[in-house]
Chain A
Amino acid sequence: MKKIGFLVILLTVLSGGVWYVQADEAAELMARIDGKQYSENSQTRMYMRIYPDGRDGEVREYRVESYGRGETDSYMVFLEPRSIRGLRILELEEDIRVFFPSTGRIRRITGDQKGGSAGGVGGDFSYEDIGSGSYSKDYRLSMEGDDGVHHIVRGIPLDPESNYLYLLFYIEKKSEQVRKVEYFTREEGHKKTLRLENFSTVQGVEMPSSMEMVNHEDGGITIIEIAAARYNINIDEKFFNPNRFYR
């Protein structure tokens, strides 16, 4: 019997992060972007559509409400599909608890490895893809060039356990928004492409409300759409309390 991966990683994309201002141009640019996206905590309602076989194949749909706090803590509850409505996941420092409304039990589940796939609910997003709180903190950055519309920044992961050899960030010059990320591995070359669209600024935090990850290896596509988001708000502590999060 196998354990299942979870969507917990999605939460951290909206949670806070620390950033460093680096000396060179690329690092400064990415630090500015980090700054626009920083928040202490968040509340979001999102849809995720996973097309394991590309857009012509079957689709798996999930609707989730989540709360993020700091870099590591997150809470989420499934609203759809109906068979797991009310299933809650609490992650505190990589210690994951799952509440099953079907049995009323809570199970503890160990966190997945950083390099491992969030192939379960994460679809084509791996934990690493969206688990980072900061571009400027997690990558050694350098300017790769530009295509007229975008600055292209190369990011080499600082984490030695990273799955990726390097990433290419396409930053729209006018808005200084990351519009596309290409992921490269040593074995597979250009493995995935993430497109970020529909940026908006809510409570001072600039975030894309639509993300599409295309896995060039298996043709899978995962789309995340943020239906509603709030940042830097007062979140009920019960959501992060292991004894109360399921109530």
Chain B
Amino acid sequence: MKKTALWLLRRYRLVVLLALVVTAASVLCAGRIRIVTDAKEMLPQDNPYVQSFNRITEDFSSATLLITVEGEDRRDMIDAARSLAEAIQGDFEMAGLIETVNLQVDREFLYRWALMMQDSADLEKTLRLFEDFSAAGFFRLYNDNLEDTYSGEEGEDEIDSSREERETAGFLAGIGEAATLMRLSLEDPSAYPPEATAGEVADFFLTGDTWNFDRRGSMLVFSIVPAFQIDDIEETMVLMEKLDGYLQEAGKAWPGLIFGYAGDVPQNYDEQIALGSDAVLPSILALLVILVLFLFSFRSIRVVVMAIASLILGILATVLVVALTIGSLNLLTSLFAVLLIGLGIDFGIHFITNYDRFRGEGMENPKAISATYRSAGKAVALGAIATAIAFFSLLLTGSPAIRQFGAVAGTGVLLTLGSELIVLPALILLFPESHERKRRLPVISYRGLGVMGGKMKGKGRWIVPAIVLICLALLVPNLGRLGFVYDLSELGPQNSVSVRTQRKIEEKFGLSPLPVMVSTKSLEEARRLTEEVKEVPSVGAVSSVTELIREEAVQDKNLLILAENRAQWQPSVPGPLSDTAYEDLLYEIQRLEWNMIEIGDLSVTALGEGNMVQMQRDEMIREVLGAETGEPGREVFRRLLRRLETVEGREGFEDFQKAFAEELNRRARLLLSPDRRLTEEDIPVELRGDMLSADKSSYLLVVSPDSDSTTKEGLHRFRAAMEEIDPGFTGTIPIFVEWTHSISSEVGKATALIALVFTLLMLVSFRSIQHTLIASACLGSAALLMFGLFPPLGIRFNATNIMILPLIFGLGIAFQIHIIHRFLQVGDVETALERSGKGVLLSGLTTMIGFGSLGLIGAMKAAQQLGLMLFVGIGINLIIAFTLLPALLSWIDRPVGEELHTDSRKGELG
């Protein structure tokens, strides 16, 4: 340290010049750094999930992008979606970024091939409907089919999966929508002309909704297939900025509708924006608060500003190193600036605390700097090097993300140390402050810390450990409630459009918009996997080419059935609505309502109360409580019946029935038309691209989990079920869970490694097992108190904040080291706290402020949780360092009243 001081006193101008060069280079290179939010890139490339993902991305677009339109009026929502899709497809700049826009199911394809997609038993049931297209006849046949399906000899299995629950609720919603459209057409034929409305009603009964509405009809979703992969950040940003513009325009054109986006492309976009904001705003806030704190803590404002300038230089030097080496930052390392503010300023604090005191004692600048080096330089450097070693030890772990974090944080600690120990004194020498200059601001005295230490020698040595024990007894039971976040969206920017829309999709559709996928090399394998996946209760939806193309034997049988029916079928032309037919019609509509009610009842026996089918039934009809009724619903069937029972309704229905029969005849002709097997070539290109590779060598199976599968248990269950079916299932969820697992297992090793490094450091530094044990007891108590406080404060571990645990423990040990070290020098707790307390307190407070700023204004939830965790963790370590530590030191080392009378000056400099 003495040599460094002498060298610095001669070369300080060169140091400042070099610092300026580094600053300029860093500013120039910072723009080259890429931010990686994709968990896949943070896992080893030999990880099976990553390998499977890479295989899929070679043949298919792995990126999902969903557009949502919310509102009350179905027609407005459809018009808005159509217009939006046209605008996007017509945009020249977006053309290269988008493969297809999947607005709705291709109706032509659907009607041409729908019956070939059914199994033969279902096909025969459907064909029964073609016997009579008079309204009463059609509804009678429809009710017969319905009752046969949910009961009777042809009954199928029970509803036992989320997919079936969702599909059944959707089926009820479609029938409800059909009844509503019929009523609207009877009430207002000019707004709902029978010719057009009858076609829509026929669609609901024959093929279901071709638009992707939620069961309440309040949200319409369509998808865009990007022409790039999920990890292509530049194209993501360009596409999303353009898309954002179109959504805002649509919002102005349809003020009653709400537009949104979800999926991993928008999530990536929102995360990029939030990460950029989290890397700047909290840092600025932290710097400002720290500046204010220092202004009232040190005599020289100029030196404080120089310490902060040196810290910024250290951070910029780290940016330069990152830009020239790794070239990118990930979710963990992107927070390094805040991390270094919290850590790096500690070095400056210890330096200027000592320098300030020596100047106060009348020393000239060069002498004060030399004395500071001798007094604090070694301890500060040792502490920083130990922290850096702790971070560098993460290079031994298996996760690329953690290795990168260790490298960046370790390098950053060394560079900020160098900056605070070399650039700061150089700046002080270059811009000296005269003794005569009078200070206007008051300076906080930290003598109170010494007084507090004194109290620990008395009753405090009994009371404090007792209080700590009581707190431990109260908080340790909370350890069982420590939670882990596995839902990726819970870590993102919570106020972003993508996260809000994702939550809405989960709620309205009962589906997670982040699916898993696997590719197969044969249709048979895809079929086997699809059938197995459909049996998994937590599967919400399945997309596979085998859902369209049935086995050849089934298709051949269907072709025979269709040929036979085609030969016999005659268009059905209903006559005028006779009184009997009219009575039959009313009865069949009532029967339809009964069937819907009973399906709701049966869903409760299978799925319990509150399931989607029951809710749908209760909303569109009324709440059913056994033989009684509860809350009113939309009464879609009763309102239709009431309208039909009026003279105008009955007259109007003549026209509707005629149009309805014509539409049914037209559709029946198409449905009966297939005379050959459905093949891959028949599938529309935009649909085929999602299921079949361009060279037709790979089949993609996409599985969406239900909305319950975002909890820890749900995710594990879903992931385990998929893995059991095929270990090749991959996607954002499995990769994120794998990443989280990888980090949580590595963090245990890292913490053990860091604990070992610090224990060795303490043993070497204290040369006393007894003092090392005291420090360990304090650290253990702080850790238990901290973990015990996390559940009531709503702090849960996640892949990012768990990485910060070693840092909290590291800082906690550093606090102990400083105080115990000083205690060993001066032999008295009171004096030790008086001398070292200020440095430790300011060091702890600045770190708390640095990270607290993230907890306060961080846009990313992960950053917020990280900030809060550090704020609480360091706060508790600080409290323990000023209470339990001196209490224990008083107990073991020095009986009350027995003080060592040492030369304080010798203690400082020696």
Interface, chain A (partner B; CB < 8 A): 1-7, 50, 52-54, 56-58, 60-61, 78, 81-87, 98, 100-105, 107-110, 116-117, 119-121, 218-219
Contacts and interface: CB of A to CB of B under 8 A. Distances in A.
B626 A57 contact: no
Contacts, number: 132
Interface residues of B, number: 42
16 contacts: A1-B149, A3-B151, A4-B159, A53-B713, A53-B717, A81-B609, A83-B600, A83-B601, A86-B626, A100-B601, A102-B597, A102-B626, A107-B151, A120-B160, A120-B605, A219-B713
A84 B604 contact: yes
A60 B149 contact: no
Contact of B624 (A3, A50, A78, A83): A83
B614 interface: yes
Interface string B588-629: 000000100111111111111100001000000001111100
B156 interface: yes
B575 interface: no
Nearest to A118: B158
Nearest to B607: A60
A9 to B, nearest CB: 13
Interface of B: 146-147, 149-153, 155-160, 164, 168, 171, 537, 594, 597-609, 614, 623-627, 708, 713-714, 717, 721
B158 A2 contact: yes
Given A53-B714, A82-B625, A100-B597, A108 B605 contact: no
A5 B603 CA distance: 10
Contacts of A4: 150, 158-159, 602-603, 605-606
B309 to A, nearest CB: 53
A83 B625 contact: yes
Interface centre among B603, B604, B627, B717 (most CB of A within 10 A): B604
B155 A109 contact: yes
A107 B598 CA distance: 10
Interface centre among A84, A117, A219 (most CB of B within 10 A): A84
B605 to A, nearest CB: 5
A218 B716 CA distance: 11
B604 A2 contact: no
A52 B159 CA distance: 13
A103 B598 CA distance: 7
A103 B604 contact: no
Nearest to A52: B537
Contact of B598 (A5, A50, A100): A100
A1 B145 CA distance: 10
A82 B629 CA distance: 11
B151 A87 contact: no
A54 to B, nearest CB: 7
B599 A1 contact: yes
Contacts of A57: 708, 713-714
A106 B525 CA distance: 43
Contacts of B149: 1-3
A86 B627 contact: yes
A4 B156 CA distance: 8
B155 A110 contact: yes
A103 B606 CA distance: 19
A101 B160 contact: no
A243 to B, nearest CB: 19
Contacts of A109: 151-152, 155
B598 to A, nearest CB: 5
Nearest to B160: A119
User: 3 tightest A-B contacts by CB?
Assistant: A60-B608, A3-B155, A85-B626
Contacts of B598: 100, 102-103, 105, 107
Given A3-B158, A53-B717, A120-B158, A87 B626 contact: yes
